[in-house]
Amino acid sequence: MSIHLSSSASHFPTLPKAPTGINGLDEITEGGLPKGRPTLLCGSAGCGKTLMAVEFLVRGILDYDEPGVLMAFEETAVELADNVQSLGFDLRQLQADKKLRLDHVHVDRSEIEETGEYDLEGLFIRLGYAIDTIGAKRVVLDTIESLFSGFTNQAVLRSEIRRLFRWLKDKGVTTIITAERGEGSLTRQGLEEYVSDCVILLDNRVINQITTRRLRIVKYRGSTHGTNEYPYLITEDGISVLPVTSLRLAHDVSNDIISTGVPGLDEMFTRKGLYRGSSILITGTAGTAKTTLSAAFALEACRRGERCLFFAFEESPQQLIRNMRAVGMDLEPFLAQGLLHIEASRPTLNGLEQHLVTIHKLLTEFKPQNVIIDPISNLVSVGSISEVRGMLTRLIDLLKVQGISALFTALVSGRNANQEMTEEGVSSLVDTWIHVRDLEGIGERNRGVSILKARGMAHSNQVREFLVTDHGVQLLDVIVGPAGIITGASRLTQQLQEQSQLLASQQEAERRDRELERKRRVLEATIANLRTEFESVEEELRQVNHEEEQRQQALATNRQQLAKGYSNRQPASPSPNQ
């Protein structure tokens, strides 16, 4: 549910903040630590309090031109400089540039006599001089227990702690004060968290023999902030805090269509491919060519001239290249061109957060348009189901925000094969879900692929058989028999039967054509005979008629002749004189 603020509320003044420069911390604090106010950084041993405080100073100097003062009560300046040098922080050079002041204050408990008149005036003078010398804007006090652990009078302790925090506020410096974790409270004294404007709790825990660090903002006066526990890591580049997920689902989307790398699979989508920037999940049991389909996706992306980042948790880069070359997909040229980067490691090499940090780092350095993780199911070995789901949620959100097309593969165990569900439970998070399976026939096993969901487009509901050939993945045409879709050897049998039926039909048609032709010839012969007989009768009748005409003509002629002859034989009439 989104909350829309009124126009007047959107113009309310916000609390001034000092960005820490620490990766991820400014995001969950919504801008940084309270500027000109003290922040309490508490935690148990080994959680990285000093390192985070030092990075706060160094980032402030390098990124925001804010000089800083580090007053340490346990480690000397030399020890601090040596300890953080492995992170790339050169404290000695910063001191030489008059940007950083390191001051080690040794507190001897035996010399402290607790009286009502005891105060920290000497510390204020020393710290104030260090701040004024370089014009410091940031201050770190590490650690506060060294100052107050010898106090037993709670009234004096509370008074001096309040006076220290008030002095720092009046000085206008952004301060981090580190404190050790107490029993049943955030700090040993149990007072610092109440007078601090911001309290950040660091935790270092071991789960399933894997060290996991968590950060939580306990309070932040005058500002909203992330309230969850956030994993963080100490790497060679410093502290990295990983937000659990994006605060809002407000990322941009694209209508561009990209290919899966398998033409037949593209045809199963009405738009002939996948949306750019979407997330795709390929699930299936072992041996169903999930990695091969992933490699086809990567190969097609590289052919488009796009960068592809391939995380392999089961095969080395050399093995992956060799195996894919055997099925007609040569990835090596694109590795040489810098379009493809394969990051291969066992999931157990690092914890979930370390893998996520590695992905963050490579996304920043390599800047890919496509990311493949094969398979995500192996991450279950280094974390619980809920932790893996949380890690993948953060990753999917990150990739969506950056508009990166992501493809994940997941192994479906035998007990879940019928349900087509993954142990990680991320199928509801992805945009497209493709399932590959074994199609068991009589004495053989074949592979089939189907689309379970595709957000934003219609798709085929058929289970298509496919082959992994020397030329890549090939989807076969659908053949439907009396009992449904036919695959494997049954497909060949069906084809042979259809060919036999077609041949028989052709032969029957030819036989009927020959019979028709024979009958036609018999009919034509009969017609010819009848015509001949008719012509004979006609000729005979014509001859009879002709003869009859001749006879009639002859009779007529004879009559005429007879009539003429009769008239010639009549006697002459006698004369009257006779």
pLDDT for 536 equals 86
Query: What's the pLDDT score for residue 497?
Result: 73
Q: Does 467 share its domain with 490? A: no
Same-domain check for residues 150 and 295: no
- Of 197, 221, 246, the domain-final residue: 246
Residue 251 domain-assigned? Answer: no
At 415, is the secondary structure helix, strand, or coil? helix
Q: Are residues 295 and 320 in the same domain?
A: yes
Domain end call among 226, 246, 266: 246
Q: Return the pLDDT at 8.
A: 40
Predicted pLDDT of residue 383: 65
Residue after which a domain boundary falls, among 246, 277, 301: 246
Residue 483 has pLDDT above 60, yes or no: no
Q: Which structural domain range is residue 295 located in?
A: 257-478
Measured on CA atoms in the order 471, 475, 480, 481, is the torsion positive or negative?
positive
Domain assignment present for residue 4? The answer is no
Best CA proximity match to 140, nearest among 34, 38, 237: 38
Same domain, 367 and 473: yes
CATH number, domain at 456? 3.40.50.300
pLDDT tens digits for range 408-464? 999 887 554 444 455 556 788 899 999 998 887 666 788 899 999 999 999 998 888
Q: What angle do CA 460, 466, 467 make, to 5 degrees?
A: 165
Residue 458 lies in a domain: yes
485 and 443 within one domain = no
Q: How far apart are CA 237 and CA 86, in angstroms?
A: 9
Rounded Cα distance between 51 and 36, Å, is: 21
* Mean pLDDT, residues 357-366 taken together: 83
One domain, residues 84 and 228 = yes
Model pLDDT, residue 185: 66
pLDDT digits (tens, 9 = 90+) for 367-381: 999 999 988 887 776
pLDDT tens-digit map of 455-474: 999 999 888 889 999 988 99
Structure token pair of residue 503:
């041949």
- Report in angstroms the alpha-carbon separations of 134 from 52, 66, 131, 322: 22, 10, 6, 60
Q: What is the mean pLDDT of residues 116-140?
A: 83
Token pair 């408990």 in the structure block, residue: 109
pLDDT tens digits, one per residue of 134-164: 999 999 998 877 776 656 666 777 777 888 8
Range 206-221 average pLDDT: 80
pLDDT at 564 over 60: yes
- CB within 8 A of 214, min separation 6: which ones? 202, 203, 205, 229, 230, 231, 232
- Does some domain include residue 459? yes
Is the confidence at residue 9, as pLDDT, over 70?
Answer: no
7, part of any domain: no
In total, how many domains does the chain have? 3
- 473 and 483 within one domain: no
- The secondary structure element, H or E, covering residue 101 is strand 100-104
Is residue 488's pLDDT more than 60? Answer: no
Cα 213 from chain centroid (whole Å): 26
- In this predicted structure, what is the pLDDT of residue 236? 78
